[in-house]
C-alpha cells in the first residue's frame, strides 16, 4: 500500500532525467524550501521506497513510460 507521510532524514529519490540518487533533504535545500516548511513536507512511499516528493515529482523508477498500462495520478490540491 502507498503511504503519504512527512519526509525522513534517510529518504532518497532519483528524479526523472537524473542518473544519481539524491537525498530528499538535499533536494529541498536546493529548492530553498524553508526549514519550518520542510518539517511536514510530504512524500509518497511504497514498501519503504520513496515514489514521489512534493515539488520534486515522481522518482525515475516509478515514472510512466511507453510500456505503462496502468498508472496512479498524484494530484495536489491547495
DSSP characters for 14-27? Answer: -BTT-SS-EEHHHH
Average pLDDT over residues 1-22: 94
Give the model confidence (pLDDT) of 36-69 as tens digits. Answer: 999 999 999 999 999 999 999 999 999 999 999 9
E strands within the chain?
2-6, 12-13, 22-23, 42-46, 49-53, 57-58
Can you give the pTM of this predicted structure?
Answer: 0.86
Amino acid at each position: 500500500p502507498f503511504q503519504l507521510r512527512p519526509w525522513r532524514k534517510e529518504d532518497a529519490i532519483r528524479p526523472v532525467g537524473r542518473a544519481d540518487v539524491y537525498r530528499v533533504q538535499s533536494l529541498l535545500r536546493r529548492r530553498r524550501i524553508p526549514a519550518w516548511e520542510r518539517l511536514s513536507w510530504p512524500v509518497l512511499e511504497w514498501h519503504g521506497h520513496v515514489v514521489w516528493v512534493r515539488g520534486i515529482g515522481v522518482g525515475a523508477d516509478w515514472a510512466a513510460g511507453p510500456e505503462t498500462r496502468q498508472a496512479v495520478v498524484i494530484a495536489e490540491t491547495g
